[in-house]
Structure 1
Amino acid sequence: MITNESLIQLIQEDEWMLDILKSAQSLNLPDWWICAGFVRAKVWDVLHGFSKRTLLPDIDVIYFDSTVQSVELEKEYEQTLLHLQPHLPWSVKNQARMHIVNRIPPYESSIDAISKFPETATALGVKLNDHGKVVLAAPHGIEDVVNCQVKPTPYFTQSEEQMEIYKDRVIKKNWKARWNKLEVFGMVSKEEYVREF
């Protein structure tokens, strides 16, 4: 069973992930994390016994800076990261402005933003501390991701509109096609769930 400590150790021992974390750390962004699929895919790959890493559509670097909210600045950070590691699909987003994009009340921090991601298995972040050690943020814990369960976060169960966003993501992401041990929750009907497969 993967625990918080063993998950941190898995990432700490993964040279590829560590190099990515070091690149992100070099930007010196306030309240920064690499989140979502970067962590989730690692866990599911390990649990499925994959010898080859699942390719990620993006490397999600988030930070929180309420003083400068500029899409252009985020693109500059992405270019800096591309210069360091040009083969990676970097995405940098300041969570101090993302509530506008998501049409919800402002986030208080990066971890607050992570807690409001659609799925509990996605609501994960990692970064390096000043001593180069991996730090994990899991506002809803890691139980769902390590049990291969896809569930909406509490925030996304508050309204039917939010649940529709969650359900659409489950269908579009098609995670079960890659990780067949997954169990998906929150789909209203069998027909709706089967649309994914």
Structure 2
Amino acid sequence: MDEVSARRQITHWLSQDIARMVMLQTVARVAAQTGDELWLAAGFVRNLVWDRLYRETALPLNDLDVIYFGQHNLLSQYDRQLELQLGAIAGELPWSVKNQARMHVRNGDRPYHSVLDAMSFWPERQTAVAVRLNANNELELISAFGFACLFDGGISHNIKRERQLFLQRIAGKGWLDTYPGLSVECM
């Protein structure tokens, strides 16, 4: 599948997924209140595609990774404050907020310059995707490695991360059991 078709398909699936749209609206509401550019990332998009391709029924999300790039406040307490704001609207959901402007410290990388730059260091290429509702209430998608890789049947190692971490994540997340159509693609 080419990039344009992949983006179009993901956008269509998201727009048809009532639960995910409510989650996106919740994040957009908090973003409007705080002025932060908040994105729902990682499994939010990746699992949607893999559920559609490899499962008869979708799995519930075990966490909702909300990311942003905010050099104005690098304290983890601010992430917690955003989680509380999200929880005040939709408290039953497992919100996990991380400011990508400080994640380079935890990961031992050079400082990141943006959300997209930070995502380019994530262990799997298929995980480095995010979506938000923009100011016009339209779905906006970004990816560090493109969207077509989500449809190619593989889990690809990002060479910016140790291969062992990549393999540990595959085993720990159980992706090959959960999505039997997937295979590991080591680069």
TM-score (norm. length: structure 2): 0.91
Q: Distance in 1 between matches of 2:55 and 2:157?
A: 25
How many angstroms does 1:25 deviate by? 1.2
Q: Distance in 1 between matches of 2:55 and 2:182?
A: 14
1:129 equivalenced with 2:144 (yes/no)? no
1:38 equivalenced with 2:41 (yes/no)? no
Partner of residue 79, structure 2: 74
- 1:108-137 per-position Cα deviation (integer Å, ceiling 9, x unaligned): 001111121110110110011111111111
Partner of residue 174, structure 1: 174
Contact 1:167 1:186 in 2 (8 A): no
Partner of residue 10, structure 1: 13
Unpaired segments of 5 or more residues in structure 1? 157-161, 188-197
How many angstroms does 1:21 deviate by? 0.7
**Residue identity in the other structure for 2:8:** E
Contact 1:31 1:110 in 2 (8 A): no
Quote the sequence identity (%): 31
How many angstroms does 1:172 deviate by? 0.9
Contact 2:55 2:179 in 1 (8 A): no
The correspondence for 2:157, drawn from 141, 152, 155, is 152
How many angstroms does 1:33 deviate by? 1.0
SS in 1 for 2:150: helix
Unpaired segments of 5 or more residues in structure 2? none
Higher relative contact order structure (alpha carbons within 8 Å, sequence separation ≥ 6) = 2
SS in 2 for 1:121: helix
**Residue identity in the other structure for 2:26:** S
**Residue identity in the other structure for 1:14:** D
1:164 equivalenced with 2:169 (yes/no)? no
Q: Please provide the CA RMSD for this pair.
A: 1.5
**Residue identity in the other structure for 1:38:** F
SS in 1 for 2:58: coil
Partner of residue 106, structure 2: 101
| Structure 1 outlier segments of 4+, above 3 Å | none
Question: Matched residue pairs, number?
Answer: 181
How many angstroms does 1:49 deviate by? 4.5
Contact 1:8 1:134 in 2 (8 A): yes
Q: Distance in 2 between matches of 1:68 and 1:49?
A: 40
Contact 2:52 2:58 in 1 (8 A): no
Contact 2:37 2:68 in 1 (8 A): yes
Partner of residue 193, structure 1: none
Contact 1:64 1:95 in 2 (8 A): yes
